């Protein structure tokens, strides 16, 4: 029972983390490295991701959409506070690994992947997801009024 609950939680964290394409109201060309307030910039990025997720319905179903998602995640790495750089680096690689996985299946939605493929990916990337969750938790607790 505990293993099943843990598996369901991991799926939630793993694939329901905001996935999106950038919206028009956030400038991805802005050089986030130049500011002295990385936390504010990180929040701007996560807020932009959340807005774009709502606008797109959370769908990443093309190579272009995934490329934009990778650009967002690179911006997260650039803007992450020093204490979270390693987490952001791992998160970027995780997003790239997700893109590679769904590309093999013509960019289907995650829940449309074969169960064994999805389970195997989660199992193989569990540690990296947990490391990424630290950054996501930091951004969620510092950037959103929830």
Cα separation, 17 vs 14, whole angstroms: 6
In a domain, 97, yes or no: yes
87 lies in a domain? yes
- Whether 91 is in a domain gets the answer yes
pLDDT 10s digits, 44-100: 999 888 888 888 787 888 999 899 899 999 999 999 999 999 999 999 999 999 999
Alpha-carbon gap, residue 108 to 68, rounded angstroms: 16
User: What are the structure tokens assigned to 56, written together?
Assistant: 């797109």
pLDDT in tens, 107-146: 998 889 999 999 999 999 999 999 999 999 999 888 887 6
Q: Domain range spanning residue 107?
A: 60-146
**Does residue 33 sit within a domain?**
no
Residue 137 in any domain: the answer is yes
Q: Could you give the CA distance from residue 28 to residue 4 in angstroms, rounded to a whole number?
A: 39
Nearest in space to 74 (alpha carbons), one of 85, 58, 64: 85
Listed in sequence order, the residues at least 6 apart from 90 whose beta carbon sits closer than 8 Å to its beta carbon are 128, 131, 132
Q: Count structural domains, the chain.
A: 1
CB 94 within 8 A of CB 128: yes
């Amino acid at each position: 029972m505990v293993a099943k609950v843990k598996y369901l939680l991991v799926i939630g964290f793993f694939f329901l983390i905001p996935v999106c394409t950038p919206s028009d109201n956030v400038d991805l060309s802005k050089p986030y490295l130049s500011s002295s307030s990385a936390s504010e910039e990180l929040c701007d990025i996560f807020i932009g991701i959340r807005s774009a997720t709502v606008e797109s319905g959370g769908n990443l179903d093309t190579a272009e959409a995934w490329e934009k998602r990778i650009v967002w995640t690179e911006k997260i790495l650039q803007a992450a506070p020093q204490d979270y750089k390693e987490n952001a680096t791992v998160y970027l690689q995780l997003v790239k690994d997700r893109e590679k996985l769904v590309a093999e299946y013509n960019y289907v939605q995650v829940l449309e992947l074969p169960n064994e493929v999805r389970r195997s990916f989660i199992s193989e990337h569990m540690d990296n997801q947990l490391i990424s969750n630290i950054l996501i938790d930091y951004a969620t607790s510092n950037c959103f009024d929830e």
